[in-house]
Structure 1
Amino acid sequence: MDMDTNRLLTELQARHDFPAGQFPQFLALFDPLYIQKNQIVFLAGDIVSYAYFIVKGCLRQYYVNAEGVENTIYFAEEGGWTGEMSSFIHRVPTTMNLQALEDSQALVLTRTNWELATRTFPDYALYQIKNRARNITRLKEQIGHAQTDTPDQKYRRLLTEKPHLLQRLAQYQIANYLGVTPETYSRIRKRNTPL
């Protein structure tokens, strides 16, 4: 593989003490995936075939409402996981979409290899448990903020928590994530930019 696979080991060890000596056997369960900018990885209605670890690039996960309007809910960047676990594990159609916003590289696990990794590498199973608990907490917080925060508050939160996204992504992508039009986003930025 010509990817920086050490990023995966770094992530595993940041959340749980994954033994470096086991990493080569663990890594052998993954396949490399190269995703072109704007490529759709999966669509609502698909059964998700992989768990994706992002080595390089940025992807967005989004819904499309009944009126055909896209609603971005998550940006997956380097060192993060994405996919749709319910569809992946239970083999049911997803309601989400995944698209690359940049040329991206991922390490992917099939469901069979994900199960094998979980059974064969107890430290990976513990990593999964710890990571899942952290993600559930984070998602609950995001849902709460989405329900209660104004667009200005959402922008300031993004500015505080992930300021690099404001440089990395197009303005219309940030606007979509905030749930506003690009014009409204422009006004929000002006109101919240220090003089």
Structure 2
Amino acid sequence: MTDTADDPFALFALWFAEARETEINDSNAMALATTTAGGQPSVRMVLLKGHDARGFVWYTNFESRKARELLDTGKAAILFHWKSLRRQFRAEGPVSRVDDAEADAYFATRSRDSQLGAWASDQSRPLDSRATFEARFAEMQAKFDGGDVPRPPHWSGFRLAPERIEFWEDGAHRLHHRRLFTRTDGGWDEGLLYP
């Protein structure tokens, strides 16, 4: 591994900047793993929308399966796989809701159709036909015609505050390089993992 940063957030920022230059599509796509209160795991792809020393942020409908699981357990894990760089980044830890001001600010940057879709969709729930969703979308277009689209009350974001972070780089003959950061009261402990 050529990066010597001892701050995992600074190292992530370096890797993420490189991924934005090399990944053809969605360099901010990450697998988000959650579990039910009973321990049943579930994973799906979401888009990272912010990161800093507080953690990693994404947004969703709070009535979706992933949001219900996050609210029930308060824990998650994320994974980025940047195939072009032959790297992975993993983080796990507690999650919390972003504040309303942060959610409002991000929602305002979304395209109008994405804003309307947040109102029209009952995310993750059964849909009888695509025509039903398209009709609901048209209703939202009419409802907000000519005006700003406010953030729906059931739509916001989560922040994962990692307690464990791993940087993985591919190595020839599967002799990979794995760098692990574990949060402590005073900052981060760092070590290596066998490939």
- Provide TM-score, normalisation by structure 2: 0.26
- Which structure has the larger Rg over C-alpha atoms? 2
Greater strand fraction, Structure 1 or Structure 2: 2
- Provide TM-score, normalisation by structure 1: 0.26
